[in-house]
Amino acid sequence: MKFGSGERMKVLEEFLQQVGGFGVIDGGLATQLESHGADLNDPLWSGRCLIESPHLIQKVHQEYLEAGAEIIITASYQATIQGFESRGLSITEGEALLRRSVEIACEARDQFWKKCAESLNGSVDDAQIPKVRPILVAASVGSYGAYLADGSEYSGDYGPGMTVHTLKDFHRGRVQVLADSGADLLAFETIPNKLEAQAYIELLEENDIQIPAWFSFNSKDGVNVVSGDSFTECAALADSCTNVVAVGINCTPPRFIHGLILSIQKVTAKPILVYPNSGETYDADRKQWVASTGVSDVDFVSYVQKWQEIGASLIGGCCRTTPNTIKAISRAMNRTPQILPPQLLDGQ
Ligand code: MET
Ligand SMILES: [Zn+2]
C-alpha cells in the first residue's frame, strides 16, 4: 500500500487515541541486555546480540512489555550493514540480521498478546498498567556516529569533510531494509546534528519510504543538539518532512527535557516524544557511564506529568533506564482509560 502523508500520520494518531492520548516507549535496550550478562563492548554494541544471543533481545522486549511499554524499539540501533561486513558477513547476511531485529520485536509482541489473552482475557493486572493494549514496533536507526563507535553520537562532530551525500550513502541500505521489514515505524534516534537530519529527510523522500518515521535528537545543554546546531532548527527541519510523524528528544538528561519540549512546540504541531537517559554522563574514552551523576527512577518519574502537561505525547527511557523506570513512568502517566480495538481483546 502506498502511504500519503495523511495515512502515515494516521498510524500514530490512531495509536495515541487507543492508548488514551499518551503512550509509553520502552527503556534502554542495551542497558537491559548488559544487565542480563551480554558483553556489548563491541563496535556493534547491542547489535552484537543479533548474531550471538537473539533470545536475550526477545527477553528484554518482553520485560519492557510487561513493564508497560507500548512502543518497543528494535536492536538495530548500532547494527549496520557496514558493521556486519567488517565482521566478515555478506551484505545479504547483514540485511537478514536487520530484518531479524524487527522479527524478534514482532515475536515478543505476539507472545505478549497471546499470554495476555490466555491469562487475563483483557483484564487489568496492575491498576495503572493495562495488559492488553496496542503495541507498535519501531525499527531503530542509530546515527553514523553510533556506527563509528567513537562517541561521536554525543559530539555530532563528523569532521569538516562530511557531507549529506556521504551520510545518505551510509544509511540508504539499512533504511530501505527496515522500511520493508514489517515494522510500524522507523525510529531515527540520537540524531546528533543537522546534517544527519537533512540526510535522513532526503533519503526518506528520494526513496519514497512508505512507513512513518520519528526523529529524535540528543542534547547536552538543553539548547542545542550535541553538535552545537540549534535544537529548534533541527526540530523545524524534522517538521518539514511529511514522512516524520513525531519529533523529540532521547538519550538526554531529564533536567533538560522541559525546555526542549517547549522549543519543539514552537516549530511543530506533530506529537512530541521524549525518552531521556538516566542523566548519567557517558565517558567515550573509557566506554563507560559515569554513575552518581544521574537521577533515580523516583526522581525521573516526578517529571512525567509535567512533561505531559506541556505537550509530550510519548514518554519512555533511554540509556541506563530499566523496566523499573518504565513501570514507574507507566504508573505516573496521567491518562484517560483506553478504548481497545476488538481484535486486541480477542487476542488476535
Ligand atoms: C545511545 S542511545 C541508544 C538507544 C537504543 N534504543 C537503546 O536503548 O539501546
Ligand atoms: Zn541512549
Lowest pLDDT segment from 1-15, 61-75, 78-92 = 1-15
Ligand 1 atom closest to Cα of residue 140: 6
318 labelled binding-site residue: yes
All three cell numbers of 131: 495488559
Condensed to tens digits (0 to 9), the pLDDT of residues 64-76 reads 999 999 999 999 9
Report the predicted TM-score, pTM, of the whole model to 2 decimal places. Answer: 0.93
- Check: CB of residue 55 under 8 Å from CB of residue 70: no
ipTM, interface predicted TM-score of the complex? 0.98
Q: Is the CB of 278 under 6 A from ligand 1?
A: no
Condensed to tens digits (0 to 9), the pLDDT of residues 315-344 reads 999 999 999 999 999 999 988 766 566 666
- Check: CB of residue 143 under 8 Å from CB of residue 153: yes
CA torsion angle 103 57 335 301 (round to 10): -160
Condensed to tens digits (0 to 9), the pLDDT of residues 22-64 reads 999 999 999 999 999 999 999 999 999 999 999 999 999 999 9
Ligand 1 site-directed mutation target among 26, 29, 314, most atoms within 8 Å of CB: 29
Look up the CATH number of the domain holding residue 308: 3.20.20.330
All three cell numbers of 242: 511529511
Mean pLDDT for the chain overall: 92
Count up the domains in the chain and report the number: 1
pLDDT computed for residue 348 by the predictor: 47
Q: Is the CB of 251 under 6 A from ligand 1?
A: yes
pLDDT mean over 244-261: 97
Q: Is the CB of 235 under 6 A from ligand 1?
A: no
Asked if the model's pLDDT at residue 296 lies above 60, the reply is: yes
Max alpha carbon distance in the chain (Å)?
57
Range of the domain at 247: 5-345
Q: Is the CB of 32 under 6 A from ligand 1?
A: no
Burial class (CB in 10 A: 0-12, 13-18, 19+), 27: buried
CA torsion angle 65 31 203 268 (round to 10): 70
